[in-house]
């Protein structure tokens, strides 16, 4: 890895119990770069995973800013909805 890549540690329960990494995301020059594996039989499971990520991100904003968890989650949810409605490209 590049000396400029700031990598997160693996979750403690994954280190203790094992598991499979399903998603890795990084911000590179202001854009999101993602690697993932399909991982689930039903794609709806990705929806649940993404909502869990949104909840955890909202909590992080509440801890690090004066924004409430509810306000942060609502802003994240609104952005997801707007992105879902916008025409998009798959890379």
Tens-digit pLDDT string for the chain (91 aa)? 556 899 999 999 999 999 999 999 999 999 999 999 999 999 999 999 999 999 999 999 999 999 999 999 999 999 999 999 888 776 5
Number of alpha carbons in the 13 Å side-chain half-sphere of residue 50: 11
**Cβ proximity of 28 and 4 under 8 Å:** no
Domain for residue 33, yes or no? no
Domain for residue 30, yes or no? no
Report angle CA 6, 7, 13 to the nearest 5 degrees.
150
Question: Which among 46, 42, 79 is positioned nearest to 61, based on CA atoms?
Answer: 79
**Cβ proximity of 69 and 58 under 8 Å:** yes
CA distance 69 to 58: 5
* CATH assignment of the domain containing 70: 3.30.2370
Domain for residue 16, yes or no? no
Number of domains in the chain: 1
Domain for residue 32, yes or no? no
Domain residues for 89? 41-91
């Amino acid at each position: 890895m590049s000396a400029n890549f700031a990598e997160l540690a693996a979750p403690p329960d994954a280190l203790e119990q094992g598991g499979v990494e399903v998603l890795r995301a990084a911000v590179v020059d202001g854009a999101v770069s993602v690697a993932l594996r399909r991982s689930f039989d039903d794609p709806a499971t990705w929806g649940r995973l993404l909502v869990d990520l949104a909840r955890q991100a909202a909590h992080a904003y509440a801890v690090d800013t004066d924004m409430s968890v509810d306000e942060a989650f609502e802003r994240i949810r609104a952005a997801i909805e707007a992105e879902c409605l916008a025409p998009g490209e798959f890379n």
